[in-house]
Structure 1
Amino acid sequence: MRNDVLERMKHYVMENIKPNYAAVGRQLNVDPRTVKSAYQKVLIGDDIKCKKRHRKSKLDGYKEIIEEKYTQNCTARAIFDFIKERGFEGKYTIVKDYCRQFKQAQIKKATIRVEHTIGLSAQVDWKERVTMYDRNGHPWTFSIFLYVLPYSKMKYLELTLDQKQDTLFKCLYHAFKYTGGIPNEIWFDNMSTVVDHKMSDFHHHKFNERFQSFSHDANYHPVACRPFRPQTKGCVEALARTMSRLKPYNH
């Protein structure tokens, strides 16, 4: 069925006009029977939509509760148990499917794409407290310092036994030496060695004085990433995920 024929018939149905099949067929260069079939198809389709639109659901009367609880990060199973105590007679799958639809309908917060240029920025993070076992079964716990230049994807990694501020400064110095320079700005996670959490909130970060002094001496501008927004430093986050390649060497 041609789309232009269906669209013309939709217009006739919306205007509540019965078309002249022969005249429309000549205009669109199709058989009048095709026009009639399209008209009847649109009519039947509208009837079906109307029936679905007015069909009652067991979720009626509970949708607002489900949406409210879902925005509070409650699971579909917990919501089902909650509304079941309040008289809901449907099954868990109905609630689960509705939660899935509601999740898909939510508008995700936009994250501005960060464009990288030569020498502009670097990204820093830790792969924290990795525990692996040697061939004798002895556990070793360590962290891995991660430093990435997003434009060139040049990387520097260093294994450390702690994540203290002095260790961070030492690793940054080694990274500058390895990559041959210092970028204009460096993006950091909200680690305690960088951000003074007591004097910061969700929207405004306060760098601790010793770190601020080190950044000033090294002549780069520190940038604290927004919490729960890993996209802003995706390069180093991707590198942290690749550290799972160490797992085959366990034991």
Structure 2
Amino acid sequence: MEKLLLYVQVHQLSEQGFKVAKIAKKLGISRNTVYKFLKMSFEEASDWANSLNQRRKKLDPYRDQMISWLKEHPDLSSAQIEDWLKEKHPGLTIGGSTIRLFVKDLREIYHISKEIHARSHEAVDELPMGYQVQVDWGEITLKNVLNKEVKLYFITFVLSHSRYKYVEWLGRPFTTKDTIRCHENAFAYFGGMPEELVYDQDHLITVSENAGDVILTGEFQAYKEQRKFRLHLCRKADPQSKGKIENVVKYVKYNFAKNRVFTNIDTWNEKGIAWLERTGNYNVHNTTKKRPAEVHALEKQHLKPVSPLLSIESDNSSSITRTVCPDNVIKYKSNRYSVPLGTYRRNGDNKVFIELKESELIIKKQSQGEVLARHILSTGKGELIKNRQHARDRSKGIQAYKETIIRQFNDGDQAALFIQELSKRYPRYVRDQLQIVQYALHHFRQEMEQALTICIKDQLWSANDLRDVSQHLARQKETKVVQASCQTQGSQNDRVARTRQVAATVREMDDYIQILGGMGQ
């Protein structure tokens, strides 16, 4: 019935003048499906739909479950659905292509589209057995059983030849010690160690890299020397050199982790290993066309045997470098520890050395140099451990500011009393209050003495009140000046008016002729 309804919709849109591409987009189906429906008569479509209803498919018993997954998570891939089915139904044996076609039909029938992101890759030569492992970190945000978001972190390893993978999860960011422990677990899982390990330029293992000169963290340098493997750091923005592990990170995120519900980290890691054995290392690899687990059985013989590492937790890292942050702290094991103010230099060398002695963290400028700071190691996470002697003595600056302002008044006693009251009433905003007083002194200096007297008399203990009173006094003075100017102008205008009222004497024409000497005779 659903297919028949879709057939009718295709023909209706075609009769309305829609082109094939528009019909496919509007109904969320492929253009090939549109062409197929347009070539069929109604009777043919009806017979075809009935035959589909009568024919049972191997995945029909799981149809409703798959539809609910797709509706809840439209971005599910057919590979992830295959893994979920095998997890829920361990006895199910079915090919990946069958599931892909079934999922494709479900998406078309129920109009559940999927957004596809394509990325270009360049093919690289295959490496010999036991030669290389690529390593990378990832993170993902999921929902837990309480429907709250949680952020999980993971590290992945992949043998470059067989594509045999290992993954381990944490509920917090990794430390260098976590990274070393996971390396040991990965070597145990692989059954040996390769000749070379490939990494990004991650802060967990490197301090800096300059034109090939690599400086490792103290802990990882000690571990590398003990295990004696070759280390290769990828250039920035160079995915081709570590494309295998990037694909694994994406695979772990979108085939295993995405849309799962998180319970606790131990159960999550158990499910991750089960997924590796069931899907991650068992399914045929798209490039090699072989199962990683089967190829690993051969590659394992080419790996170097690994003896138990007894000194992972030892003090090989007694001298570790850290970088001083702009706020004059260093970071160690997810906490921040202060150093004296001014240790950080904007364009200088901000590297310091730290040593661990029992429960104490010692910070030095040089490995054997003077001690910059000592702190008791914190057992928590995300804490700021600060020595008060490392901070700026802000009280000295405030006191000097107060004295500077008091000296600008003629009556120092009154000014001192007012500033003292400000400090009592606004302990958290003393600097802001003093800045307002300074502003008023700059703009209304002549009125400030009188304004100060008024404020103390009326008990107005606020810099804003002092400023407003001084501003009011200044405006009053301006008003008086304007009025006086107007009065003066009025007196001048009266004198001019009186002068204009004096009329000139008008003479007869005969008088002017007589004065000119009888010219009119």
Which residue of 170, 179, 188 corresponds with 1:160? 170
> Which residue of 1 is the match for residue 133 of structure 2?
122
Give SS of 2:179's match: helix
Q: Are the counterparts in 2 of residues 114 and 232 from structure 1 also a CA contact under 8 Å?
A: no
Q: Distance in 1 between matches of 2:210 and 2:125?
A: 23
Structure 2: gaps (5+ residues): 1-121, 263-521
> Does 2:119 align with 1:138?
no
> Does 2:233 align with 1:221?
no
Identity of aligned residues (%): 24
Q: Deviations over 1:76-107 (max 9, x none)?
A: xxxxxxxxxxxxxxxxxxxxxxxxxxxxxxxx
1:136 to 1:126, Cα distance in 2 relative to 1, 3 A: same
> Which residue of 2 is the match for residue 84 of structure 1?
none
Paired residue type of 1:157:
V
1:166 to 1:137, Cα distance in 2 relative to 1, 3 A: same
Q: Deviations over 1:21-63 (max 9, x none)?
A: xxxxxxxxxxxxxxxxxxxxxxxxxxxxxxxxxxxxxxxxxxx
Q: Distance in 2 between matches of 1:219 and 1:188?
A: 16
TM-superposed CA distance for 1:114, in Å, is 5.1
Q: Deviations over 1:139-191 (max 9, x none)?
A: 22111110000101110001113211011001000000000001111001111
Give SS of 1:126's match: strand
1:138 to 1:157, Cα distance in 2 relative to 1, 3 A: same
Paired residue type of 1:179:
F
Give SS of 2:167's match: strand
Q: Are the counterparts in 2 of residues 202 and 227 from structure 1 also a CA contact under 8 Å?
A: no
> Which residue of 2 is the match for residue 149 of structure 1?
159
TM-superposed CA distance for 1:209, in Å, is 2.9
> Which residue of 1 is the match for residue 244 of structure 2?
235
> Which residue of 2 is the match for residue 182 of structure 1?
193
1:131 to 1:112, Cα distance in 2 relative to 1, 3 A: closer
Aligned residues: 139
Give SS of 2:130's match: coil
TM-superposed CA distance for 1:226, in Å, is 0.8
> Which residue of 2 is the match for residue 212 of structure 1?
221
The correspondence of residues 1-251 of structure 1 with structure 2, limited to 5 A, is 113=124, 115-128=126-139, 130-161=140-171, 162-197=173-208, 200-201=209-210, 203-242=212-251, 243-245=253-255, 246-250=257-261
TM-superposed CA distance for 1:232, in Å, is 0.3
Q: Are the counterparts in 1 of residues 177 and 219 from structure 2 also a CA contact under 8 Å?
A: no
Q: Distance in 2 between matches of 1:249 and 1:193?
A: 28
TM-superposed CA distance for 1:202, in Å, is 5.8
Q: Deviations over 1:206-238 (max 9, x none)?
A: 222321210121121111111110110111100
Q: Are the counterparts in 1 of residues 137 and 154 from structure 2 also a CA contact under 8 Å?
A: yes
Q: Distance in 1 between matches of 2:212 and 2:226?
A: 26
Could you say which structure has the larger radius of gyration? 2
Q: Distance in 2 between matches of 1:116 and 1:221?
A: 15
Q: Are the counterparts in 2 of residues 117 and 151 from structure 1 also a CA contact under 8 Å?
A: yes
Give SS of 1:223's match: strand
